[in-house]
Amino acid sequence: MHYPTGLTDRRSNSNANHWYPLHMKIINLLVDLRREVLEVVGVVEDANGGMGWDATRPNSSTQIALKRLLENHLQLGEKFGIYVVTRHCSCPNPAHKGHVVSKGRHGIKNIGDQTFIWTGDQLFQGDRYSICPCSSSAKPTKHWVIDEIVVHKHGATKRHRTFVNAIGDVQQAIDNAGDNMPRSAIREYLLRAVLQLNDGILPQTVEEYIAFRIQQSGNQDVGEAVHK
């Protein structure tokens, strides 16, 4: 996916075909991700259990929509120093040593690059057909790879962390959207993403707000303090 040059960027998602100014802020990214996640949640309904015609959206369609959402927002996340780094833990090449990093727009050459925060949040870990950078034949082989999210330290904020957490929940929803898998798990992870995004968008988290109101009201009943 490539963005056109100029003053604006445009995502290819036909369901949310918006123009983004180059000066967009991280909060805009959180707001947009929250809106799109809620749109998906709204159409995830439990199947009717095989009783008659099932008009609910199949898991496969939800999975496709979520993968598109994930791809789009990871692309946008790069504007804020958020990248997915693929490292190859092994490959058939006898000369392979340690974890080798695939080339990318992040510019990382070695694991543990100190200009980035290595979040430990993984979008994938397992065997996959891929081209290891140590291979001279440029031929895909099945070997163990890890896709990890990293954040450039310069300019990193709590909202960057919120984005990473929410993206992780979207990936979990995708993993739970296989055929014949219960849709409650899809909703659970997407709603958890929304809750995290809520806290990231607002000036303070719900927990911080409650604590502040209780302190302001002299440690009285939580309900009374919040509703005053």
According to the model, what pLDDT value does residue 7 have? 28
Distance CA 224, CA 226 (A): 6
According to the model, what pLDDT value does residue 75 have? 96
Residue 200 CA to its chain's centroid (Å): 14
pLDDT in tens, 23-62: 679 999 999 999 999 999 988 877 666 555 566 778 899 9
For each of the domains in the chain, give its residue range(s) and CATH number, in order of start: 1-81+156-202 (1.20.120), 82-155 (no CATH)
Q: Which residues have a Cβ under 8 Å from the Cβ of 169 and sit 6 or more positions away?
A: 189, 190, 192, 193, 196
According to the model, what pLDDT value does residue 9 have? 34
Q: Using an 8 Å Cβ cutoff, are 187 and 44 in contact? A: yes
According to the model, what pLDDT value does residue 204 have? 84
According to the model, what pLDDT value does residue 57 have? 79
Whether this model's pTM surpasses 0.75: yes
**Which residues of the chain are modeled with pLDDT < 70?**
1-23, 47-55, 219-228
According to the model, what pLDDT value does residue 16 have? 40
